[in-house]
Amino acid sequence: MTPEGMKLGAEAAQLLAAADCCEIEPGLSDAELRRIEEEYGFEFADDHRAFLAAGLPVSQPPEEGATWGNPWPDWRHGDPAKLREQLEWPVEGIVVAVQHGYWHPGWGQRPAGADDAVREAKTMLARVPKLVPVYAHRFLPAGHGSHGHPVLSIWGTDIIYYGADLGDYVNHEFDDFSAHTPDDWNPRATVAFWQDFLS
């Protein structure tokens, strides 16, 4: 891991612990992180990896009407099917949008038939950069050797910034965001395809 990524992840973990909003178990070991990456077919970004190594957030009181009973991915003991579902959330949201008429401009001409459009979209989506859940529908891009990406909130094609980086995200989600937001807050997307949904 890069020193900058380790520092960012450790700082975000300290902010989460100080927010006292959830149960935090001991962090994931290197062996656990490698197993997760092999099992689910992605690599954590360096700051995300350091965040989870510092402490694994696993639960908090449920919110009424929440999409997830537990929004924290429990990488140690979680149900593999539910973890895969959470990992697939961003792509599945785009597929649903395609079923309702959406078509990404970079994919060329949309096939005439709805089934053909969905099939083509799935082929194209298999090539886009993977996103990894941080909490509920908040995601970071995957990738060893990378860090400092904005955290994205993803609901279908409704994609917004939810933090300029992981630490900023923790402030946004679990603290008084307005008290910490600089006047010049202006995150910049860093990952292909997904950045096309952000203005």
- Residue 199: pLDDT band (50, 70, 90) is low
Tabulate helix, strand, coil % of the chain (nearest 5): 45, 15, 40
Average pLDDT over residues 156-163: 93
* Cβ 46 vs Cβ 5: under 8 Å: yes
Residue 182's pLDDT is what? 65
Give the pLDDT score at 189: 77
**What pLDDT shows up at residue 1?**
75
Go through the chain and tell me how many residues it has: 199
Measured distance between the N- and C-terminal CA atoms of the chain, rounded to whole angstroms? 31
Q: pLDDT digits over 92-136, tens only?
A: 999 999 999 999 999 999 999 999 999 999 999 999 999 999 999
Task: Tell me the pLDDT tens digit for each residue of 43-67.
Answer: 999 999 999 999 999 876 556 666 6
Q: How confident is the model at residue 140 (pLDDT cuts 50, 70, 90)?
A: very high
Q: Which two tokens stand for residue 192?
A: 């292909």
Count of other CB atoms within 10 angstroms of residue 50? 25
- Pairwise CA distance, residues 185 & 114, whole Å: 40
| Structure confidence at residue 174 as a pLDDT band (50, 70, 90) | confident
Q: Taking all residues of the chain, what is their mean pLDDT, rounded to a whole number?
A: 90
